[in-house]
Amino acid sequence: MRHFEHPIFSGKIKQKKVSNCDYYLSQIHLRLLVLFPHLCNFLYSQAIKIFGMEGTIVRRVIPSDNSCLFNAVGYVMDHDKHKAPQLRQVIAATVASDPTQYSEAFLGKPNEEYRAWILNPEKWGGAIELAILADYYGREIAAYDIQTTRCDLYGQGKNYHERVMLIYDGIHYDALAISFYNGAPEEFDQTIFTVQKDRTIGPIERLALNLAKEQQRKRSYTDTANFTLRCEGLPDWSCWPKGGYEACTSNRTCQLSRI
């Protein structure tokens, strides 16, 4: 039997014994994933059914640069943590293409103003952007909220056949992936999962929920309704969440910390 320790951000903390069969299957998966991602998705789902393999769910940290949502989506969809500029353009173009659907009432600001706003790399994304990106890729996006352990599913009801997963701590998005053992390179992460007939992705959902619950127990989230940020660059000035954050980060001397 082979022994591997799970990474810090895995959904499991104790050591897990991995059989030789599991190990060699994971090696085959790693080699096929780059060339045949959709085939690997199928093989992985079959391995779960036949051999009881689950792997380890891991939280892949995305840089905190105001574009974490876009780069997290880029990672789970394309294994690319630098897609924010491109995905912001996708969203702006989508909104421009249908001003009736994407009205001021829907966006919270005029269509043209929103388009300029979302192209600003200092502006955050949220539910509207995740819904648009789910449709753009033709995949469901499951976003797990650590504070509530709720899963918000974007693209639901559109009969998409695949799903990706993110995790959200109140002000930041990271990517979720399946890794077969500790130390497996990120480029071999499994991030796209087949939606089954019951509209779930099987045991992977339990692993994702367990990770969200573990992070909740550790209070690894920011309660945006009840916290204040302090600017270290301007010690006498405190600002409230999000709006204050955006105002403060426009000043390059600011360094925010949670009070």
Q: Using one digit for the tens of pLDDT, what is the confidence trace for 31-56?
A: 555 455 555 555 555 555 444 455 78
Distance of CA 120 to the CA centre of its chain: 21
Domains of the chain as residue ranges with CATH: 58-175+208-217 (3.90.70.80), 229-258 (no CATH)
Strands 140-145 and 162-168, sheet pairing:
parallel
Residue type, 48: I
Q: Using one digit for the tens of pLDDT, what is the confidence trace for 65-103?
A: 999 999 999 999 999 999 999 999 999 999 999 999 999
Checking if the pLDDT of 149 tops 90, the result is yes
By three-state DSSP, how is residue 19 classified? coil
Checking if the pLDDT of 257 tops 70, the result is no
Lowest mean pLDDT among 99-113, 165-179, 221-235: 221-235
Question: What confidence score (pLDDT) does residue 50 get?
Answer: 43
Name the E strands within 37-186: 56-60, 140-145, 151-154, 162-168, 173-179
Question: What confidence score (pLDDT) does residue 13 get?
Answer: 31
Of how many residues is the chain composed?
259
By three-state DSSP, how is residue 91 classified? helix
Task: Tell me the DSSP string of 191-256.
Answer: --EE--TTSS-THHHHHHHHHHHHHHHTT-S--TTS--EEESSSTT-EE-TTHHHHHHHTSTT--E
Lowest mean pLDDT among 30-44, 144-158, 200-214, 216-230: 30-44
Phi, psi (degrees; rounded to nearest 5) at 190:
-95, 120
For residue 193, list its beta bridge partners.
163
Q: Which residue is associated with the tokens 């690997």?
A: 40
* 181 touches 12 (CB < 8 A): no
State how far the Cα of 152 lies from the Cα of 251, in Å rounded to an integer: 33
Question: What confidence score (pLDDT) does residue 182 get?
Answer: 73
* 220 touches 190 (CB < 8 A): no
State how far the Cα of 145 lies from the Cα of 5, in Å rounded to an integer: 26
Q: Residue 221 — pLDDT band, cuts 50, 70, 90? A: confident
| Model confidence pTM above 0.85 | no
Checking if the pLDDT of 12 tops 60, the result is no
